Amino acid sequence: MKSLYLVVTVLFFSIYSKAQQFVDKAEIEFEVNTNVKKNMSNNSWDEMMKENLSELKTSFWTYSFANNKSLFKFNRWSEKTRIPKYQKDQDEEKSWYYDFNTNTMSSQKQVVGSSIVISDSIAPIEWKLTNENREIAGYNCRKAVGKIFGDVYVFAFYTDDITITGGPSSINGLPGMILGLTIPRLYTSYIATKINLTVTNPTEIKPITAKKMYSNLEFRTLIEDKTKDWWSYENDEEEKKREKNIFLWNAFL
């Protein structure tokens, strides 16, 4: 009887210790869904385009991290996604690098027809933790509500079993890795589908560089200057504001 008790005790503590192992490097695959049609305007040109588009833009992205540094970049498209090539090109060029040791980041984006690299400190996000939980990719996650761009709410589920305080795109700052994220005003969601506890190419996790680098403030000034006349065709002020905000939020995300 004692030997049976000993075996059960050893087995329990073995399982418990494995469950308590914290992940400090991994590759996470995210499925990203955006309702393309809801992001578009109601003008006649966009209404005609909607007929040839899929309702959802679905893509898969890879979040690689090690040594408290991360890289989030495009991987592949879902076969069901039907959108114009220029929209695909914009997403395929995006990437985000974060160094949580030095609180610095760099990202690459294709905006207003140009490839732009931003390098700056990591912008803080205002978070409020909740008591709601759900399981994502085998990890117990806790819900948090954040606010970006002043008044855009994001809903995240993070796990503190994965130690990096990161997340997809530019969303970060929780006590663990964000595995689920929804941004209702951009009609976009991110969900972790696979987690590989090894990193295929750790040397790829490095800052993004270019001859010309922009700070967040310089990038904002550039975008606002280049797009100041973009919505002059729109007579409905509320619709103009909505279209402009969606564009800017996507650019700054």
Q: Which two tokens stand for residue 172?
A: 């970060």
pTM, to two decimals: 0.89
Q: Is the pLDDT of residue 247 over 80?
A: yes
Question: What residues contact 194, with CB distance under 8 A and at least 6 apart?
Answer: 28, 29, 137
Residue 42 has pLDDT above 80, yes or no: no
On average, the pLDDT of the chain sits at 89
Q: Considering the domain boundaries, does residue 176 fall inside one?
A: yes
Q: What does the pLDDT look like over 211-232, one tens digit per residue?
A: 999 999 999 999 988 888 887 7
Is 3 within a domain? no
Q: Which domain holds residue 192?
A: 21-252
Vertex 15 angle, CA 9 and 17, to 5° = 100
Q: Tens digit of pLDDT for each residue in 44-58?
A: 667 677 777 889 999
Q: CA–CA separation, 119 vs 99, rounded Å?
A: 11
Q: How many domains does the chain have?
A: 1
**Higher pLDDT pick, 155 / 12:** 155
With respect to residue 1, please indicate whether it lies within any of the assigned structural domains: no
Does some domain include residue 2?
no
Instruction: Return d(Cα 71, Cα 95) in angstroms, integer.
Output: 7
The total of other beta-carbon atoms located within 10 Å of residue 79's CB is: 7
163: phi then psi, degrees, rounded to nearest 5: -75, -25
Is residue 45, in this structure, part of any structural domain at all? yes
Q: Decide if 226 is inside a domain.
A: yes
The CATH number assigned to the domain holding 83 equals 2.50.20
Q: Is residue 16 part of a domain?
A: no
- On whether residue 175 sits in a domain, the answer given is yes
